[in-house]
A and B are shown apart, each in its own frame.
Chain A
Amino acid sequence: MNVAAAAGLEAKVRDARERLDAHVREMVAWHFGPDTGSPFWLERAERLDFDPRREIRGYDDLALLGHFEDEWLRGGPIRRWVPKGLAGRPLYVFETGGSTGLPKSRVNVEDFQTDYELFSETLSDETFPRGADWLMLGPTGPRRLRLAIEHLAQHRGGVAFHVDLDPRWVNRLIKAGKLGELELYKEHTVDQGLKILRAHDSVRCLFTTPKLLEALCEKVSLAKAGIRGIFCGGTEMNAQFHRFAREELVPGIDFVPTYGNTLMGLACCKPFDGDYTITYYPPAPRAIFELVDPADPERRVDYGETGRVMLTTLTREFFMPRFLERDEGERAAPTDLYPWDGVSNLRLLGQLESSVVVGVY
């Protein structure tokens, strides 16, 4: 990078940081405001020995609030999460996980639509043509994803066709060692996807998971079926899968890896430039990744160093400061397109790997 470009990037990073700090102040004012905040945060503020609206002047000051615990999201009362400022708006509830114990729930008004509209701006109009229809072959049910993909399709002028897929059932089959039934379920899912592709010539865009993409490609050439762009999500995606997809599964089709979850929104992958490493950037300032030392979460790791993902979500609907994710990766440097920190080679935290079933659908 030449000097001018470096200076340009530096300025962008500085601007982004100022925007983030301003956004933090705005969100703190909202969530801790007696007329706008949610019962959860207002109650919590009462037990603090400081006023967050005075003390939290930027992102770094969020440390004063400690770490958000996902246990808080299990069970009710669900309305304690609804900011007073949004009272009366129609609510969605989205769940995450749930293969063991109570699922985590998050209320939504229109965050998921905003997140996917922002993501839409990063898609190419050539490979995800406006007006084209979508096939959504991935987890449905109480997850955000089903409605989010539908909204993405609508936002781009198309419709989304759906196939039901229950990942909790998949997890149960795996835990019970019922691999034959797992195959049957996969086949059942893929067959329905194929029927949609055959019946509707207008489908050009696909959302699916790595496993289902593999299964689909065994049965059909997606390029011949008219697919131009694939939006693929899942933590099990790594550089090798990315390369395998581009080189062998779907050559010639635009392949866009993404990392999304109900608690954050949707992180975009650094555009493909010949390097298959997957680096995700969060939709700042709505969400921020920080890579921290797993043994000491107060220490941010250096660029290139491995750390645990600490996620902060800052929207009017949801305030989640400094949540320690179950994922790890290498801290990635800001780019012109995303002048803030990202994460490379995202994967399950080493210490958790044995206890979590992942990447199964």
Chain B
Amino acid sequence: MLHIPLLRAGEPYRSLATRTLAAVRDGEPVAEVSQANPGLVARDLARSREGQARLAARSVTELVEVCRRAAEHLGGSELPVGDEGQSPGRYLEQVSATTGLPRALARANLDKACFVLREMETVLGGLTRGLDPEILDRGWGVQDGRMISYRRETPVLGAVLPNNSPGVHSLWLPAIPLKVTLALRPGGQEPWTPYRIAQAFLAAGCPPEAFGFYPSDHAAAAELLQRCGRSMLYGDEATVAPWRADPRVQLHGPGWSKVVLGPDAAADWPAHLPLLAESVAANGGRSCTNASGVWTASRGRELALGLAAELAKIEARPLDDPQARLAAFPTVEAARRLSAYLDERLLVPGAEDLTARFREDRVAVVDGCGFVLPTVVYCSDPDHPLARAEFLFPFVSVVDAPAGELVARLGSSLVVTALTADEGLLGELVSAPHVERLNLGPVPTPRVAWDQPHEGNLFELLYRQRSLQAVEQPPAAARTAGAAAG
């Protein structure tokens, strides 16, 4: 069976502790994954400064070039995975098999990672707001007539990664040109993408010390978060809660992204239907940027019914069908459990499943895989337990709330797309502390502009501006010469 090793300073290491990865479709083993013990992670991280020094010896511009080459390898080359070679097509098969993401969607995510690598210069420009890369190489410099200096907060970025979508891996890619090495702890079902990205970087000539890859249990993940000067952590509420007070850890919990329709736009909902559908259902509804709520000043039920009719057109298809748009659940049973959970919540008055009328069962079984079909719930009560719920499939609650209360009631939201010209509402959204990304106008919630920081700015996580005053001094040689002459 295929064996996926750890990477320690880029070198494969086969652990005696392994975990079997099974296919979603039939439960058949697909690969055996080496598991890191916590002490091993700690030991490697204790040496991260040496690895970082190797990376920092390259200039940002050189590393951007490495990214460009890595993009070509990631998207087009056969790269090693364990003892085997892995073509891009084989990678798509594997990631789809163990995560349930259709191959077509996996392809789109791979393309996204390639794009970010290729366009790294633009991405860095967005993260650093146009900082001259040489200032990062040297640590300080003058830009626009101002003295600027940045200090690196950590030699290594820890990343505790999720299973939901390979697209999330685009977020840590800029660490490499920012000269920070990586300690990656992949999701249990998805070692494929981070491993392949690391191999693409190695093939592109990146110093191998830049990559630690540690599939592991929770204990080793906690070790990693404890040891890295800076980390990103993906997970549900329960996973991220213990780290909430730790400023070193950037949390990526549930997204609870939303589309908001102001009083001036509510009646226009039919015109926004494609935007709403894309926001809810793009990438199988698995991204944190997928809208799980549509909050509107009026006409909620009518909108919900229209959206339900639209989303009900999405069918469950086999994972290798190029038209597939839904991701399979880990087991058919898991799909049924989630659907039953929804039914139970729907018993609380004030919410109605408007997609129910378009089908007999919310769960579909196709080619051995279990799917939960897109579901639109209308909440007449903004405090209904489903009003701010989020699930790993295209699920959305359409909520009616008075215009004056809309923003205050949204709750924590990773992305808000605001469809309104109402100055008051816009003003409230712009100043809302619980809204992270904001799209003004018809931009679907999952659509990302790569020159904008996403979910917290990686540059700001890794670097800190320092105050620096430098008094011009003659070079040492000149001083010596002067002294001799005097």
Q: Is the CB of A214 within 8 A of B226?
A: no
Which chain B residue lies CB-closest to A359? Answer: B219
Q: Which residues of B contact A244 (CB under 8 A)?
A: 37, 39-40
Q: Is the CB of A214 within 8 A of B39?
A: yes
Q: In the bound complex, how far is the Cα of B38 from the Cα of A97, in angstroms?
A: 23
Residue among B39, B222, B226 making CB contact with A210, cutoff 8 Å? B39
One digit per residue, 1 when the CB lies within 8 angstroms of any chain B CB and 0 when it does not, for chain A 215-244 equals: 000100000000000000000001111111
Q: Which residues of A contact B39 (CB under 8 A)?
A: 210-211, 213-214, 241, 244, 249
Q: Which residues of B contact A241 (CB under 8 A)?
A: 37, 39
Q: Is the CB of B37 within 8 A of A179?
A: no
Q: A274: CB under 8 A from chain B?
A: no
**Min C-beta distance of B332 to chain A, whole Å:** 22
Q: B241: CB under 8 A from chain A?
A: yes
Chain B contacts with A in 4-40, Cβ cutoff 8 A: 15-17, 35, 37-40
User: Knowing A179-B222, A179-B242, A214-B38 touch, does A238 contact B16 (C-beta < 8 A)?
Assistant: yes
Q: Is the CB of A218 within 8 A of B35?
A: no
Q: Is the CB of B226 within 8 A of A240?
A: no
User: Knowing A183-B226, A214-B38, A244-B40 touch, does A239 contact B16 (C-beta < 8 A)?
Assistant: yes
Number of A residues, CB within 8 Å of B: 21
Q: In the bound complex, how far is the Cα of B37 from the Cα of A243, in angstroms?
A: 11
7 closest pairs, A vs B, by CB? Answer: A177-B242, A214-B39, A240-B17, A240-B16, A239-B16, A240-B15, A240-B37
Q: Which residues of A contact B17 (CB under 8 A)?
A: 238-240
Q: In the bound complex, how far is the Cα of B46 from the Cα of A301, in angstroms?
A: 44
Q: A296: CB under 8 A from chain B?
A: no
Which chain B residue lies CB-closest to A213? Answer: B39
Q: A248: CB under 8 A from chain B?
A: yes
Q: Which residues of A contact B40 (CB under 8 A)?
A: 244, 248
Chain A contacts with B in 155-192, Cβ cutoff 8 A: 177-180, 183
One digit per residue, 1 when the CB lies within 8 angstroms of any chain B CB and 0 when it does not, for chain A 66-96 equals: 0000000000000000000000000000000
Q: Is the CB of A177 within 8 A of B16?
A: no
Q: B146: CB under 8 A from chain A?
A: no
Which chain B residue lies CB-closest to A277? Answer: B16
Show 8 residue pairs from A and B whose CB-CB distance is below 8 angstroms, ordered by the A residue: A177-B242, A179-B242, A211-B39, A213-B39, A214-B42, A214-B43, A218-B46, A359-B219
Q: Is the CB of B241 within 8 A of A177?
A: yes
One digit per residue, 1 when the CB lies within 8 angstroms of any chain A CB and 0 when it does not, for chain B 235-275 equals: 00000011100100000000000000000000000000000
Q: Which residues of B contact A177 (CB under 8 A)?
A: 241-242
**Min C-beta distance of B219 to chain A, whole Å:** 7
Which secondary structure dominates chain B's binding surface?
helix
Q: In the bound complex, how far is the Cα of B225 from the Cα of A179, in angstroms?
A: 10
Q: A276: CB under 8 A from chain B?
A: yes
Q: Which residues of A contact B46 (CB under 8 A)?
A: 218
One digit per residue, 1 when the CB lies within 8 angstroms of any chain B CB and 0 when it does not, for chain A 193-222 equals: 000000000000000001101100010000
**Min C-beta distance of A346 to chain B, whole Å:** 13
**Min C-beta distance of A168 to chain B, whole Å:** 19
Which chain A residue lies CB-closest to B44? Answer: A248
Chain A contacts with B in 320-361, Cβ cutoff 8 A: 359
Q: Is the CB of A248 within 8 A of B43?
A: yes
**Min C-beta distance of B160 to chain A, whole Å:** 13
Q: In the bound complex, how far is the Cα of B40 from the Cα of A213, in angstroms?
A: 12
Q: Is the CB of B35 within 8 A of A180?
A: no
Q: Is the CB of A179 within 8 A of B226?
A: yes
Q: In the bound complex, how far is the Cα of B246 from the Cα of A242, in angstroms?
A: 32
**Known A180-B246, A238-B37; 16 more pairs at CB < 8 Å:** A177-B241, A178-B242, A183-B226, A210-B39, A213-B39, A214-B38, A218-B42, A218-B46, A239-B16, A239-B17, A240-B16, A240-B35, A240-B37, A244-B37, A249-B39, A249-B43
**Min C-beta distance of B440 to chain A, whole Å:** 38
Q: In the bound complex, how far is the Cα of B42 from the Cα of A177, in angstroms?
A: 20
Q: Which residues of B contact A211 (CB under 8 A)?
A: 38-39
Q: Which residues of A contact B243 (CB under 8 A)?
A: 179
**Min C-beta distance of B212 to chain A, whole Å:** 15
**Min C-beta distance of A179 to chain B, whole Å:** 6
Q: Which residues of A contact B241 (CB under 8 A)?
A: 177
Q: In the bound complex, how far is the Cα of B223 from the Cα of A244, in angstroms?
A: 16
Q: In the bound complex, how far is the Cα of B227 from the Cα of A218, in angstroms?
A: 12
Q: In the bound complex, how far is the Cα of B38 from the Cα of A241, in angstroms?
A: 9
Residue among A218, A243, A248 making CB contact with B16, cutoff 8 Å? A243
**Min C-beta distance of B346 to chain A, whole Å:** 29
Which chain A residue lies CB-closest to B42? Answer: A214
**Min C-beta distance of B45 to chain A, whole Å:** 10
Q: In the bound complex, how far is the Cα of B241 from the Cα of A214, in angstroms?
A: 26
Which chain B residue lies CB-closest to A242? Answer: B16
Q: Which residues of A contact B222 (CB under 8 A)?
A: 179
Which chain A residue lies CB-closest to B219? Answer: A359
Q: In the bound complex, how far is the Cα of B20 from the Cα of A245, in angstroms?
A: 24
One digit per residue, 1 when the CB lies within 8 angstroms of any chain B CB and 0 when it does not, for chain A 34-68 equals: 00000000000000000000000000000000000
Q: In the bound complex, how far is the Cα of B242 from the Cα of A183, in angstroms?
A: 14
Q: Is the CB of A276 within 8 A of B16?
A: yes
Q: In the bound complex, how far is the Cα of B437 from the Cα of A245, in angstroms?
A: 47
Q: In the bound complex, how far is the Cα of B242 from the Cα of A180, in angstroms?
A: 10
Q: In the bound complex, how far is the Cα of B37 from the Cα of A180, in angstroms?
A: 20
Q: Which residues of A contact B35 (CB under 8 A)?
A: 240
Q: Which residues of A contact B38 (CB under 8 A)?
A: 211, 214
Q: In the bound complex, how far is the Cα of B15 from the Cα of A241, in angstroms?
A: 9
Q: In the bound complex, how far is the Cα of B246 from the Cα of A211, in angstroms?
A: 22
Q: Which residues of A contact B219 (CB under 8 A)?
A: 359
Q: In the bound complex, how far is the Cα of B16 from the Cα of A243, in angstroms?
A: 8
Q: In the bound complex, how far is the Cα of B39 from the Cα of A359, in angstroms?
A: 12
Q: Which residues of B contact A239 (CB under 8 A)?
A: 16-17
Q: In the bound complex, how far is the Cα of B43 from the Cα of A214, in angstroms?
A: 8
**Min C-beta distance of B245 to chain A, whole Å:** 8
Which chain B residue lies CB-closest to A238? Answer: B17
Which chain A residue lies CB-closest to B245? Answer: A180
Q: Which residues of B contact A359 (CB under 8 A)?
A: 219
Q: In the bound complex, how far is the Cα of B226 from the Cα of A214, in angstroms?
A: 14
Which chain B residue lies CB-closest to A358? Answer: B219
Q: In the bound complex, how far is the Cα of B17 from the Cα of A241, in angstroms?
A: 9
Q: In the bound complex, how far is the Cα of B227 from the Cα of A179, in angstroms?
A: 12
Q: In the bound complex, how far is the Cα of B40 from the Cα of A249, in angstroms?
A: 9
Which chain B residue lies CB-closest to A179? Answer: B242
**Min C-beta distance of A358 to chain B, whole Å:** 10
One digit per residue, 1 when the CB lies within 8 angstroms of any chain A CB and 0 when it does not, for chain B 135-152 equals: 000000000000000000
Q: In the bound complex, how far is the Cα of B223 from the Cα of A179, in angstroms?
A: 10
One digit per residue, 1 when the CB lies within 8 angstroms of any chain B CB and 0 when it does not, for chain A 251-290 equals: 0000000000000000000000000100000000000000
Q: In the bound complex, how far is the Cα of B222 from the Cα of A239, in angstroms?
A: 21
Which chain B residue lies CB-closest to A276? Answer: B16
